[in-house]
């Protein structure tokens, strides 16, 4: 756990769909119409109303995010962020991934969310190298927090122990002087 100003950052091994936070972030695709991985799990748990809502949004650009309600999820909102597909790193992937975290926190702030949970965006089907993605996630969240005053708690929801260990190491690295 790391404290930055009024906000705590923590990693947990947890299914993000079970978290009763103000907002969970979805690792979506540009259609916003669902898919596999965490996206599929979120749509299954939220129910069909989420898909109906997403259909009205007209998709979302890579690096951007859009907010819906959480419907049957314990979370109030879902922030659908579209991470980049990894193509080797020369196609702006790092900037696009950072942009996902920035835009998600901006939307969380607009909705006055106090707590928000992120999955490891782009680290599954989109094949972004996990170590680099974790550094970008933690760095961008820390950098953006001053512009997201409502946010008091950020959870990095990890699906497995290996991802949890990466976040723990990065949070620890940031905590040491």
- Active-site residues, by number, are 39
End-to-end CA distance of the chain: 15
Q: Are 88 and 63 in contact (CB under 8 A)?
A: no
Q: Is 161 in the site for ligand AR6 (CB under 6 A)?
A: no
Report how far residue 157's alpha carbon sits from residue 66's, in angstroms, rounded to the nearest whole number.
19
Closer of 37 and 59 to ligand AR6 (Cβ): 37
- Count of positions on this chain that bind ligand AR6 (CB under 6 A): 24
**3-state SS assignment for residue 54:** helix
Binding marks (x or -) toward ligand AR6, 69..108, rule CB under 6 A? Answer: --------------x-------------------------
Alpha carbon distances (Å) from 99 to 75, 89, 152, 169, 174: 23, 15, 20, 23, 20
Q: Is 167 in the site for ligand AR6 (CB under 6 A)?
A: no
Considering only 37-45, 56-64, 90-98, 135-143, which stretch makes contact with ligand AR6 by CB under 6 A? 37-45
Q: For residue 103, what are the contacts with CB-CB under 8 A and spacing of at least 6?
A: 63, 64, 65, 81
Interface residue with ligand AR6 among 118, 126, 156, 167 (CB under 6 A) is 126
Closer of 77 and 126 to ligand AR6 (Cβ): 126
Name the one residue in this structure whose structure tokens are 């907010």.
67
Considering only 4-12, 104-112, 155-163, 168-176, which stretch makes contact with ligand AR6 by CB under 6 A? 155-163
Q: Is 122 in the site for ligand AR6 (CB under 6 A)?
A: yes
Instruction: Sort residue 85 into left (φ over 0), alpha (ψ -120 to 50) or beta.
Output: beta
Q: Which of residues 2-21 bind ligand AR6 (CB under 6 A)?
A: 15-17
- Give which of 100, 85, 88 is closest to 137, Cα–Cα: 100
Q: Is 163 in the site for ligand AR6 (CB under 6 A)?
A: yes
* Interface residues toward ligand AR6, by CB under 6 A: 15-17, 27-29, 35-39, 41, 83, 119-126, 157, 159, 163
């Amino acid at each position: 756990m790391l404290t930055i100003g009024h906000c705590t950052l923590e990693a947990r091994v947890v299914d993000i769909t079970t978290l009763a936070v103000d907002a969970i972030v979805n690792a979506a695709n540009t259609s916003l119409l669902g898919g596999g991985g965490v996206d599929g799990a979120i749509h299954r748990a939220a129910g069909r109303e989420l898909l109906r809502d997403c259909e009205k949004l007209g998709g979302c650009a890579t690096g951007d995010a859009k907010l819906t309600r959480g419907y049957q999820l314990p979370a109030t909102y879902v922030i659908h962020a579209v991470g980049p597909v990894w193509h080797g790193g020369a196609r702006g992937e790092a900037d696009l991934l950072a942009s996902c975290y920035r835009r998600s926190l901006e939307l969380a702030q607009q909705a006055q969310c106090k707590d928000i949970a992120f999955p490891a965006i782009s680290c599954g089907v989109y094949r972004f190298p996990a170590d680099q993605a974790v550094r970008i996630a933690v760095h961008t969240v820390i950098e953006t927090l001053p512009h997201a005053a409502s946010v008091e708690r950020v959870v990095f929801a990890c699906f497995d122990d290996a991802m949890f260990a990466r976040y723990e190491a990065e949070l620890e690295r940031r905590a040491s002087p």
